[in-house]
Amino acid sequence: MVRAAIRGIWEHKLRTLLLVLSIVAGVSFVAGSLIFTDTIGGSFDALFEGAFEGIDIRINPDVDQGFTSLQPAFDADVLTIVESTPGIIDTWPGVGGLVNLSVGGEVQSIQGPPNFALSWEGDPTLTLVEGRGAQGPTEVAIDTTARERYDLAIGDTIGLAATGAISDYTVTGVLGGFGAGPALFTFDLATATSVLGLDGLYTTIDVAVEDPTLLQEVLDDLTSRLPDGVVAVDAQAAAEEQAAQLKQALGFIQTVLLVFAGISVVVGVFVVYNAFRTVLGQRTRELALFRVLGATKKQLVTSVIVEALVIGLISGVAGLIGGILLATAARAAFSLFGGSGLADGGLVLAPGTFVTAFGVGMAVTLVSALLPAARASQVSPMAALATIDKPPRRLTKQLVVGSVLGVPGVVLVALTGLDRVNLLTGGIGALAILIATYVFGAIIGRPFVRTIARFLGNTPVRKIATDNAARSPRRTGATAGALMFGVAFVVAVSVIVVITQKTATAVLEDAVSAELTIQSAGADPTAGVSPEIASIVGELDFVAATQSSRFAQGSINEESTFFGSFEPETVEQTYFFDEVQGNWSDLVGETVAVQRAQADELGLAPGDPVTVDLGTGPEQWTVAVVWDYSSSVDDTQGFYLPTSTLADRFPQGNVVSIGVKLTGGTDPDQAKATIAELIQTDYPFANVTTQDELLADIQGQLLGLLAFVFVLLAMSIFIALLGIVLILLLSVFERTRELGLLRAIGSTRVQIRAMIRWEAVFVSILGALMGVVVGTFIGWGLSGSIFGAGFSFVIPWTWIGLGLIASIVAGVLAAILPARRAANLNILEAIAYE
């Protein structure tokens, strides 16, 4: 029996190849995700191996925001406290913050790790590899990452600016940096302090202790002496912590990749299951003959399982190779987007990856083969003698299973849409709906195909194609169902993205009154622009008002959140509000302006106390204003602080954007040109945009996101198409005599091809339409949880239309191979075929 199974694999090479392909795609995706993240993870370990060597303790703000502008600074007096603590032999106070870079007059804008300025005066955390450290106000020493990424050398002049105007600096040396991640630009402490605008403040103090065995005592001592919001941590532990944090972020990437890989694997399971079911159905007589000859049921199952295992094994090997290729491509893409230096070594092939690749390959085929095998073993020896096809089975089971899963699924997703339950519950509901739809595919397939055919009009070719598609409802349903998965995900994501886009543009269109926005020219908007620009632009006679906003991360009443900021003096000139409770003039110092929705949620009104933590410990603040934009705007960011307060707390941070309100009758384009001209020399990192340009920007970014998701989902759609090819091939094989007869009585090859093509198109339209309906509903549901109840729902018609056209094209493509097979059948052999 085993030999018969293996011969079966060999004799049906094309079928085996397609089966393997539909498994390999998913396995490659899984293996690739693992290899890619392991490889990057490995270089993170190397990254922090030598970090913080030579120091024992690092003094940090309580919340360490790393290489961002959100790192709170602390008073320089802390240094005195540290130095007066017994057991300490050396201290290196330092400052750091984001910096903008210009090389050869070109603003350097890259996606990915930031450019970071910090002080370095021989601190042991970094080592000099070339030249010397920077000294004085016109020198900079860079790290190896910066040298490679921007192709710099000692003696080069570069432009740098943080919160002030741009200045030129000469590169004097190269430091062994982290080798990856942020590019470092180091100055002496005084210069760094002035570049970053951190007079009288530090962001870190590194400490060496006299006796490392007493480290814990010194730490405890320091902790009792340091003010609130500043902590002393074990430097080695901190290094490990930082590596762990990066790895955690990496873990998130891995999870996202594995989710998409998982979708591909699941689609693969459906395709392979369907194929096994069909093949075994076709082999009923052969299996019955084995039974007549005395094979036991167990032997029949074994033969199918062996076939599945061999295919699984081949898929595991091929999937591993595919995974390595995918990981290589992903790494290349990663380097392109600024991750250079990371993962430059060899790919990391962990034993776990091997186990997973083979495990997934085998599991997919086994799971897919088990049920059909069990059913096939039930075949009665009598079936060997039967010549008439079994009457089609009733679809009662499908109806029951579909309803049991579908109804609660719809309820859960509907509740999510009304924002009554959380996103996870909605996700579970969505999954239930997807499986229910897959099951229902068998029931709706036949009437659906007939309806479409009626709509198109019945030519004989189309009539036969329709009948064929409707002939085996479970097969057609399952084939279309596999496609439905990918399409549903794509549509759900586009619904969410389109709503996001609408939300974002509604803020600009209905809430922002300022005609121009000044923000970072770089790819990272948090790099911001110099706060000095606002006062320069404010002087212009055609500028009525400017509105600088900053942002911060922290928590309000212990719920973590992002904070925006308003300048109360000009907020009414630069925004449209429907409702303002309280006075904008009260928004000073430690006060918060809360949007209506969030105020209702937390039960806040002007004058109420709130607990705000900006990373330096909880503080008691007051609600100054409760406000709301016009009703068309769903802004999820609900808490705004006074801009001036954030400027005090984060002096090294730039403003994220400056809104510019023009005086009546001023042409925005002309104003934009004048302002750009005015600030270009000193602040090349600032970019002036009109509202229209900003809208286009937002749409462009969201399109990018959408494209990324599509790429990740393309794999599952590809597998589903392989499924269509596979099932059509099996059907052609099954209908050999019919096709031979059709050819004998005068159907042309063109007609036969068209017949198969129509069948494929019917199946792909069925899959796509199910996906569109389900995906739109799921997208609506999940949006409820993401945007809050009562969000304005948009159906992405353009995307849906494109998707349907694409699925028709895909059906036509999937039909090429089976259609060619069908058309080129030898008529005489086909007629005589048993």
Partner 1 sequence: MTTPAARAVGATKIYGEGDTAVTALDNVTVEFAPGQFTAIMGPSGSGKSTLMHCLAALDDLTEGSVFLGDTQLTGMGDRELTELRRDKIGFIFQSFNLIPTLTARENITLPAAIAGRKTDTAWFDQVVEILGIGDRLSHRPSEMSGGQQQRVAAARALASRPEIIFGDEPSGNLDSKSGAELLGFMRQAVDVFGQTIIMVTHDATSASYADRIVFLADGHIVDEMFDPTAEKVLDRIKTLET
Residue 463 sits in the site that holds partner 1 (CB under 8 A): yes
Contact 484, 437 (CB under 8 A): yes
Choose the binding region for partner 1 from 394-402, 466-474, 549-557, 621-629 (rule: CB under 8 A). 466-474
User: Does the footprint of partner 1 cover residue 699 (CB under 8 A)?
Assistant: no
Counting contacts by CB under 8 A, is residue 293 touching partner 1?
Answer: no
Beta strands in 49-195 (DSSP E): 57-61, 74-75, 88-94, 96-98, 100-103, 106-107, 115-119, 127-131, 139-143, 157-161, 167-176, 183-187
The answer to whether the CB of 443 falls within 8 A of the CB of 399 is yes
Which amino acid would we find at residue 570? T
Q: How far is the CB of 745 from partner 1 (least distance, A)?
A: 5
The verdict on 495 binding partner 1 (CB under 8 A) reads no
Please identify, using beta-carbon distances, which residue of 142 and 742 lies nearer to partner 1: 742
DSSP for residue 636? S
**The only residue of 299, 632, 751, 792 in contact with partner 1, by rule CB under 8 A:** 751
By C-beta, is 371 or 386 nearer to partner 1? 386
Which of 156, 317, 738, 817 is in the footprint of partner 1 by CB under 8 A?
Answer: 738
| Token digits of residue 191 | 């210069």
SS (H, E, C) 157-170: EEEEECCCCCEEEE
- Interface with partner 1, residue 731, by CB under 8 A: no
Contact 616, 555 (CB under 8 A): no
CB of 834 to partner 1, least distance (A): 10
Note whether 221 binds partner 1 by CB under 8 A.
no
737 counts as binding partner 1 under rule CB under 8 A: yes
* Residue 392 binds partner 1 (CB under 8 A): no
Closest distance between partner 1 and the C-beta of residue 484, in Å? 25
653: left (phi over 0), alpha (psi -120 to 50) or beta: beta
- The answer to whether 827 contacts partner 1 (rule: CB under 8 A) is yes
In angstroms, give the least distance from the CB of 308 to partner 1.
31
Contact with partner 1 (CB under 8 A) among 147, 672, 743, 821: 743
Total chain residues near partner 1 (CB under 8 A)? 24
Backbone Cα Rg of the chain: 33
Residue of 224, 457, 681, 745 interacting with partner 1 (CB under 8 A):
745
Residue 427 CB, shortest distance to partner 1, in Å, is 41
Query: Judged by CB under 8 A, which stretch of 130-138, 169-177, 465-473, 771-779 contacts partner 1?
Result: 465-473
Q: DSSP assignment of 298-364, as one string?
A: HHHHHHHHHHHHHHHHHHHHHHHHHHHHHHHHHHHHHIIIIITTTT-S-----HHHHHHHHHHHHHH
Cα angle, residue 767 at apex, residues 764 and 772 outer, rounded to 5°: 120
Q: Which is nearer to partner 1, 661 or 743 (CB)?
A: 743
Q: How far is the CB of 468 from partner 1 (least distance, A)?
A: 7
Residue from 294, 346, 665, 746 in contact with partner 1 (CB under 8 A):
746
> Per CB under 8 A, does 256 bind partner 1?
no
Strand, coil or helix: 210:
coil
For 491, 621, 623, 627, 645, the CA distances from 609, given in Å and listed in that order, are 44, 6, 6, 17, 17
Give the whole-angstrom CA distance, residue 644 versus residue 568.
10
Closer CB to partner 1, residue 293 or residue 745? 745
What is the distance between the alpha carbons of residues 146 and 185, in angstroms, rounded to a whole number? 8
Residue among 263 and 823 whose Cβ is closer to partner 1: 823
Least gap, CB of 15 to partner 1 (angstroms): 23
Q: Are 216 and 224 in contact (CB under 8 A)?
A: no
Residue 297 near partner 1 by CB under 8 A: no
Measure CA of the first residue to CA of the last residue in the chain; give whole Å: 22
Residue from 283, 285, 420, 471 touching partner 1 (CB under 8 A): that is 471
How many Cβ atoms sit within 10 Å of the Cβ of residue 354?
14
Give min distance, CB of 389 to partner 1, in A: 7
> If binding is defined by CB under 8 A, does position 742 make contact with partner 1?
yes
Chosen residue from 711, 744, 805, 809 binding partner 1 by CB under 8 A: 744
Nearer to partner 1 among residue 293 and residue 388 (C-beta): 388
Q: Which of residues 432-461 bind partner 1 (CB under 8 A)?
A: 460-461
Rank residues 696 and 827 by Cβ distance to partner 1 and give the closer one: 827
Q: How far apart are CA 4 and CA 292, in angstroms?
A: 16
Closest CA to 715 of 232, 257, 114: 257
The answer to whether 160 and 97 have CB atoms below 8 angstroms apart is no
Q: In this chain, which stretch among 171-179, 463-471, 497-505, 526-534 interacts with partner 1, using CB under 8 A?
A: 463-471
Query: Rule CB under 8 A: which of 352-391 touch partner 1?
Result: 388-389
The owner of tokens 């001592």 is 221
List of residues contacting partner 1 (CB under 8 A) = 388-389, 460-461, 463-464, 467-468, 471, 737-738, 741-749, 751, 827-828, 831
